[in-house]
Amino acid sequence: MVGPTLAGAMAPNLVLILADDLGYGELGCYGQKKIKTPHLDRLAAEGLRFTQFYAGCTVCAPSRSVLLTGQHGGHTTVRGNAGKGEVAAQTLRAGEPTVSALLQGAGYRCGLIGKWGLGDEVDGPGHPLKQGFSSFFGFLSQLHAHNHFPDYLWRDSVREPLGNDLVPRGEGGAGYATRRVAFADDLFAEEALKFMAQDRGRPFFLFLSLTLPHANNERSQALGVGTEVPDFGPYRDPSWTEANRGQAASITRMDGYVGRLRAALESADLERPTLVLFTSDNGAHAEGGNDPKFFQASGPLRGLKRSLTEGGIRVPLIAWMPGVIRPGVSGHPGYFGDIMATAAELAGVALPPGRDSLSLVPVLRGEGEVARHPYLYWEFHEGGSSQAVLLEGRWKGIRLKRRDAPLQLYDLAADPAESEDVAAAHPDIGARVESLMQTARTESPYWPLRDGAAARK
């Protein structure tokens, strides 16, 4: 049974829109000056815009694992992008508590549209249909998802061919098209509208996991430019590089999808309210020829995707629910893992045990005193194992690639750009952060802490 919730006695629908590699500063409502995002700006003006919300990791698979499991990067199952031959390391387990399984058990109709990346095998335990989703349309493999004009997409467990050709390059179905007739994210937007229009007798959870503005790295390696869009839209004329025009067009095109979904929700006269959450899986990218400095893609923050500085993990979050969420700005320090507790409270069900998750519902309600995490934790396994801890929403500690590397410490309250390492001035804070780096995580057979060249590639 679905219980009482944010909007009263009736549990709301939940639409979670996840951009891929969208930086903190790439929306107008977060300070962007060159890229047009009118629909998301309007959503932010009418809803709640978070200024200190964090992704689960600085790359896609572990970030999505944190989001789905409600566990931080030291506890979640998938803690990195595993690569070829390490299927189990990037696959959710059978019976895994996930947001989708929790909501499905509460009577929700759950649909995943877009990129998955947490189980590539059709018959494996990580397939979306075995993780609480009743329908799936999109990419299983995140490498396949690099290609915005793929030759097929998955519908549930069946390949659905498209009209694009494929020039294969790399692994996991990656490559690029020369005959480009079907753009994946356009199809995802259409599918999302169809999903929302079905079976209105019960609440739904739509996870719209877009691939924009991620670059096609394989196309970039072959042809020099990896920003793929059907056209440049309003950026046909500026004397920018082709890659920069493609980046801007990708984000504006994504913004248009949000406008269409919003319009559909407003015209549908749904029996129950709908909470829309929009965020990104990690910070801005510098791939496909795109120049993030040109757009100031990280805004006032330092770093990009693959960095544990703020620019790599602090992401936009917009929450919109007309008549329920009052317009405003929140500095509440939340993260992807909080989506699970939020979903549990919305559905009126218990949070599964062992979660690192606090509900955002009190923040959405505008309550004065809300529960906060004493710390947030991240780890990143490329070129060595790096760790980061955010203590009390203020003190940010980072250790890069080696367990004996010196701790960097930043006071985000005074220095959100992380420009001054204050570890020497605050040894007591540094000691607390270092202790958490040792105790906050559990061991994983697939994701041990490794030093330097010994780390997985």
- Neighbour-count burial for 422-457, b at 16+ CB within 10 Å, e otherwise: ebeeeeebbebbbebbeebbeebebbebbeeeebbe
Rg of the chain over all Cα atoms, to the nearest angstrom: 21
Judge whether residue 84 has pLDDT over 90. Answer: no
For residues 130 and 93, what is the distance between their CA atoms, to the nearest angstrom? 9
pLDDT bin (cut points 50, 70, 90) of residue 201 is confident
Token pair of 449 as six digits = 């802490």
Helix, strand or coil, per DSSP, at residue 394: coil
Residue 317 above 80 pLDDT? yes
Which pLDDT score is estimated for 4? 46
Category of 98 on φ-ψ map: left (φ > 0), alpha (ψ -120 to 50) or beta: beta
Q: What is the mean pLDDT of residues 336-354?
A: 97
The pLDDT score that the predictor gives to residue 454 is 45
Question: What's the predicted TM-score (pTM) here?
Answer: 0.96
At 60, phi and psi to the nearest 5? -70, -50
pLDDT score for 222: 96
Place of tokens 């590397």: 405
Residue with tokens 């895994």: 96
Is it true that the peptide bond before 353 is cis, omega within 30 degrees of 0? no
Predicted confidence at residue 83, as pLDDT, reads: 72
CA distance 25 to 297: 5
Give the domain ranges of the chain: 13-372, 376-454
Domains 13-372 and 376-454 share a fold: no
d(CA 128, CA 391): 34
β-pair partners for 142: none
pLDDT in tens, 96-150: 999 999 999 999 999 999 999 999 999 999 999 999 999 999 999 999 999 999 9
Q: What is the pLDDT of residues 204-216, one digit of tens each?
A: 999 999 999 999 9
Residue 11 token pair: 């549990």
Phi-psi region of 260 (alpha: psi -120 to 50; beta: other; left: phi over 0): alpha
**DSSP code for 8:** B
pLDDT class of 296 with cuts at 50, 70, 90: very high
- Does residue 311 carry a pLDDT above 50? yes
- Could you give the count of Cα atoms lying within 13 Å of 56 in the half-sphere of its Cβ? 32
384-401 mean pLDDT: 97
Q: How confident is the model at residue 228 (pLDDT cuts 50, 70, 90)?
A: very high
Regarding the domain with residue range 13-372, which homologous superfamily does it belong to in the CATH classification? Answer: Alkaline Phosphatase, subunit A (3.40.720.10)
Whether residue 49 has pLDDT greater than 50: yes
Task: Provide the pLDDT for residue 457.
Answer: 37
Q: State which fold the 376-454 domain adopts.
A: Arylsulfatase, C-terminal domain (3.30.1120)
> Mean pLDDT, to the nearest integer, of 252-280?
93
Could you say which DSSP state residue 92 is in? P
DSSP-derived pairing of the beta strands 314-320 and 274-280:
antiparallel
Contacts of 256 (CB under 8 A, 6+ apart): 39
50-70 pLDDT, tens digit per residue, is 999 999 999 999 999 999 999
pLDDT band at 199 (very low <50, low <70, confident <90, very high): confident
Tell me what pLDDT residue 5 has. 55
| Average pLDDT score over residue span 346-366 | 97
| Measured CA distances, 237 to 23, 156, 250, 317 (Å) | 24, 41, 16, 31
Residue 352 has pLDDT above 60, yes or no: yes
* pLDDT value of residue 271: 67
* Other Cβ atoms closer than 10 A to 263: 12
Query: Which of helix, strand or coil describes residue 439?
Result: helix
pLDDT above 90: residue 440 = yes
Does residue 8 carry a pLDDT above 70? no
Question: How many beta carbons lie within 10 A of that of residue 42, not counting itself?
Answer: 17
Q: In what order do the strands lie in the sheet with 385-391?
A: 375-381, 385-391, 395-399, 408-411
Predicted confidence band of residue 200 (pLDDT cuts 50, 70, 90): confident
In whole angstroms, give the CA distance from residue 160 to residue 418. 46
Query: Does residue 3 carry a pLDDT above 70?
Result: no
Q: Beta strand pairing status for 13-19 and 274-280?
A: parallel
Q: Residue 366 CB: number of other CB atoms within 10 A?
A: 12
Residue 9 pLDDT = 64
Residue 268: pLDDT band (50, 70, 90) is confident
Q: For the chain, what is the mean pLDDT?
A: 95
Half-sphere exposure (Cβ direction) of 404: Cα atoms closer than 13 Å: 2
Share of the chain above pLDDT 70, in %: 96
